[in-house]
Amino acid sequence: MAVTDPRDLHIVVIGAGMGGLGTALAFAKKGFKNIDVYERASNLGFVGAGIQMPPNVIRVLDRLGCWEEIEREATDVKDTSIRQGSTNTELAHVQMPDMREKYGYPHCTGHRASLAGGLENGCKKEKVIKFHFSTELIKVDSYEPRPKITLQPRDGEAYQIECDVLLASDGIKSVTRTQMLGTLGVSSQEEDTGQAAYRIMLKREDMENDPELKALIDCDTVIRWIGEKRHIIAYPVSNHTIYNLSTAQPDSNFAATTNATYTTKGSKSAMLKVYETFCPLVQRMLNLVPDGEVCEWKLRVHKALPTWTHGCVSLLGDACHPTLPHLSQGAAMAIEDGAVLAECISRIPNTQPATIAKALKVFELLRRDHTSMLVDMASYSGRVLHLGEGKAKEERDKEFANHAKNGSVPDKWASPDVQKMIYSYDCVKEAQTKFDELFKSLETPAVAA
């Protein structure tokens, strides 16, 4: 029997990354009763790495009821320091003591497992969400009127399912994106960033015998050491028991490979060579990384997609707007997408496929400009941070020095004007106030019967 209440629609989410978990939880909180999440991995094993959680995403996590748990292990960032990597000289120091007063929420850092764990526990409390691990989407067989997909369990026969709304949070390597754009006859082009990243987690016990390193893990500061074509960003996580470093450097190991490879076991000596011009403080930290535990990630992005949706299928998160990490907004945007999708689908006036397709277009309209702006800004920030000697760098360093007067910092992540724009943005409120108008303004798409 056809459903009439949107909350009875069968929602299928592909991928249980930050975006997928956030989406499933957001739909459950809106009262949807039938949500299936399919994940290729056998469990939610998250990369051992830190993550920044800015106020705009904490606002969403709080509404989803899972922030309290995540906050217990999070570090409240009080300030940020941008330093010349070679000398450790401070270029700018930006105080951030008043995030809660300004934006209603703090700016925090945490362990990825802590953010994912909070979202997962939130999902587990919702009986309407069913997880299917070790199950991979291999084909989107149709996009409308009801999406049909083929799933491949790791130890079993492939099978087909149908649903009312298919939400693909299958990440940067999204199979759904490739297939959707292929069906529409447009190509899905990857853009080479030329950059790769090491992700490093140092233990407190390895740092606390060195007073300078102990001071780093004890503080509430995010520090960025910058140099030509490379930088390191670092902050404490897990109640100051771990010091997280994330780097960006020229990609030399992945350049020859295209789509297939995203991570590689790196060599410690190669990593030390990449940062050999950085100051002794940085060298001491990199030297603490155990041999054989260096892992390098290719940083990948895509050219802007011509569409995020087709019929009753929508992409979200890294599947449609992957970003360089220099603004620390990738996971935040994926989680926001889920909250906006739930808001849009809960507001549809009827459950016909054409109405669902139109609501997904509203989601894209609500999110496209904002996410594109942040993706562009992250890449701009990377270019500015990675300048080599010359006029442009001199200008940049003057701007760093004058930041207190100007209210703007060349490292856009730390810039109060940019923070204001991103952190005060309430994606759910915007969806609530703009949905009806945008929905009315769109033509109802022709959806196959």
Ligand X SMILES: Cc1cc2nc3c(=O)[nH]c(=O)nc-3n(C[C@H](O)[C@H](O)[C@H](O)COP(=O)(O)OP(=O)(O)OC[C@H]3O[C@@H](n4cnc5c(N)ncnc54)[C@H](O)[C@@H]3O)c2cc1C
- Alpha-carbon gap, residue 222 to 327, rounded angstroms: 13
Stretch that binds ligand X, among 220-228, 276-284, 312-320, 395-403 (CB under 6 A): 312-320
Binding-site member from 217, 331, 344, 422 for ligand X (CB under 6 A): 331
Query: Is 19 a residue that touches ligand X (CB under 6 A)?
Result: yes
Query: Is 305 a residue that touches ligand X (CB under 6 A)?
Result: no
What's the chain's Rg over C-alpha atoms? 22
Stretch that binds ligand X, among 9-17, 58-66, 178-186, 270-278 (CB under 6 A): 9-17
DSSP type of residue 201: E
Q: How far is the CB of 305 from ligand X (least distance, A)?
A: 14
Q: How far is the CB of 367 from ligand X (least distance, A)?
A: 13
Tokens of 32: 């949807």
Q: Report 159-218 residues binding ligand X (CB under 6 A).
A: 169-172, 175, 197, 199
79 forms beta bridges with 95, 221
Angle (CA) 411 416 420, round 5°:
120
Query: Is 39 a residue that touches ligand X (CB under 6 A)?
Result: yes
Q: Report 45-64 residues binding ligand X (CB under 6 A).
A: 51-52
DSSP type of residue 169: -
CA dihedral 319, 321, 325, 327 (to 10 degrees): -150
Query: Is 318 a residue that touches ligand X (CB under 6 A)?
Result: yes
Query: Is 332 a residue that touches ligand X (CB under 6 A)?
Result: yes
Site track 390-429 with ligand X (rule: CB under 6 A), x = hit? ----------------------------------------
Query: Is 330 a residue that touches ligand X (CB under 6 A)?
Result: yes
| CA-based nearest residue to 328, from 371, 378, 263, 376 | 378
- Alpha-carbon gap, residue 417 to 407, rounded angstroms: 7
Q: Positive or negative, the Cα torsion across 63, 66, 72, 75?
A: negative
Query: Is 136 a residue that touches ligand X (CB under 6 A)?
Result: yes
Per-residue CA distances from 261 to 255, 257, 269, 394 (Å): 10, 6, 21, 37
Binding-site member from 67, 131, 297, 363 for ligand X (CB under 6 A): 297
Binding site for ligand X (CB under 6 A): 14-20, 38-41, 51-52, 136-137, 169-172, 175, 197, 199, 246, 297, 299, 317-319, 325, 328-332, 334
